[in-house]
């Protein structure tokens, strides 16, 4: 099976699935992620990965493209890493 046939079969599988998030993948744009990053509140505590909003906000703009790819892959494969569900609550 060559790559183009694999992509066609994958697209058919995703589009035929009733619970598919395939339609949402195109809505994850660089502009949406950039706006979301700029709306992050600074001065908050870091998460379990020791990354705060400031790290993402002041990072190189290429990070936005990598985040877009990450979120698209999460939607495409329907898999969210367990560490995305961890959080720290500080009273």
The larger pLDDT score, comparing residue 71 to residue 5, is at 71
Which residues have CB under 8 Å from 17's CB, separation 6+?
Answer: none
pTM: 0.71
Question: Is residue 51 in a domain?
Answer: yes
Question: Is residue 89 in a domain?
Answer: no
Question: Is residue 6 in a domain?
Answer: no
State the total domains in the chain.
1
Question: Is residue 14 in a domain?
Answer: no
Reported as a single tens digit per residue, the pLDDT across 12-43 is 766 655 555 566 787 889 999 999 999 999 99
Question: Is residue 2 in a domain?
Answer: no
Question: Is residue 16 in a domain?
Answer: no
Question: Is residue 52 in a domain?
Answer: yes
Q: What domain range is 48 assigned to?
A: 23-83
Tokens of 36: 């979301």
Angle between helices 62-77 and 30-38 (to 10 degrees): 110
User: How sure is the predictor about 88, in pLDDT bands with cuts at 50, 70 and 90?
Assistant: confident
Reported as a single tens digit per residue, the pLDDT across 42-85 is 998 888 888 999 999 999 999 999 999 999 888 888 889 898 88
Query: What burial class does residue 49 get, using C-beta atoms within 10 Å of its C-beta: 0-12 exposed, 13-18 middle, 19+ buried?
Result: exposed
The larger pLDDT score, comparing residue 2 to residue 55, is at 55
3: which DSSP letter? H
How far apart CA 22 and CA 20 sit, in angstroms, is 5
Question: Is residue 54 in a domain?
Answer: yes
């Amino acid at each position: 099976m060559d790559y183009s046939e694999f992509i066609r079969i994958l697209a058919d599988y995703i589009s035929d699935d009733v619970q598919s998030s395939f339609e949402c993948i195109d809505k994850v744009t660089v502009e949406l992620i950039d706006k979301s990053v700029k709306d992050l509140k600074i001065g908050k505590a870091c998460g379990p990965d020791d990354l705060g909003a400031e790290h993402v906000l002041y990072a190189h703009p290429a990070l936005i493209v990598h985040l877009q790819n990450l979120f698209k892959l999460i939607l495409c494969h329907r898999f969210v890493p367990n560490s995305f569900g961890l959080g720290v609550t500080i009273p």
